[in-house]
A = this chain, B = another copy of it.
Amino acid sequence: MNHTERSKLHRLPKRGSHDAQLVHAILDAGFVAHVGFQTEGQPFVIPTLYGRDGDKLYLHGSSASRMLTQLGKSIPACITVTLVDGLVLARSAFHHSMNYRSVVAFGIGQKVEDGERKLRALRTISEHLLPGRWSDVRVPSEKELKATTILEFSIAEASAKIRTGPPLDEEADYGLPVWAGVLPLTLEAKLPVPDLRVAEDLELPGYVLRFRKD
């Protein structure tokens, strides 16, 4: 991975990495990105779904979206994906922390104009979120494709940060009678709720039951 001043790991570099495999693994384990850009002196951070194909990342949305309109003007963006793995409870307030995996990627979006490529990018986003879904559903019509903007980002310049493991306390604090450890957190799927108009004999697809991001 390339890295310059903007992607340099300033704080706690031991928690960070520019390893492409790690960056890709974290991106694949998440599905919501927070996208940052600035317009007229004001930064915006907007949550959105995404998909990854090799070292490309795809965002999509309504052509009327402020975010996609701005990002389509070739302004610099920052795309951050964060997975929360747990609360780290130390014996001192100061050493409390969070276990997490995150990727911060920098780049400039390129609008995907070609119909075939747009379709492929939408499939990438869909399969990133829920593998198997795309082949079950009605694919986008020409009109729907026109109403959709797709942006492609290179993730050549990105950094990953990870914190794992127990709290690290000051030696003098280990004797305090304070419970310390990690409270693991995961995003869990609950029982699927069928739409009221789903026919009763329609089986729940296996890929919905098996959904798991981690």
Of B32, B98, B102, B182, the contact of A82 (CB 8 Å cutoff): B32
Q: Mark A144-175, 1 if CB is under 8 A from B, else 0.
A: 10001000000000000000001100000110
Copies in the complex: 2
Which residue of chain B lies nearest to A32 when distances are taken between CB atoms in the complex?
Answer: B84
Number of interface residues of A (CB under 8 A): 89
Q: How far is the CA of A86 from the CA of B140 in the complex (A)?
A: 22
Distance to closest chain B CB from A170 (angstroms): 8
In the complex, chain B residues whose CB is within 8 Å of the CB of A205:
179
Of B46, B178, B204, the contact of A179 (CB 8 Å cutoff): B204
Q: Are B189 and A183 in contact (CB under 8 A)?
A: yes
- Contact residues, A23-56 vs B (CB, 8 A): 32, 34-38, 41-47, 49
Which residue of chain B lies nearest to A64 when distances are taken between CB atoms in the complex?
Answer: B11
Of B94, B106, B198, the contact of A180 (CB 8 Å cutoff): B198
Q: How far is the CA of A49 from the CA of B148 in the complex (A)?
A: 34
A and B contact pairs by CB, cutoff 8 A, 23 listed: A32-B98, A34-B80, A35-B45, A36-B44, A36-B45, A43-B76, A45-B45, A47-B82, A90-B137, A92-B139, A93-B122, A93-B126, A93-B137, A93-B138, A137-B176, A179-B198, A180-B195, A180-B197, A184-B192, A185-B187, A186-B188, A186-B190, A187-B188
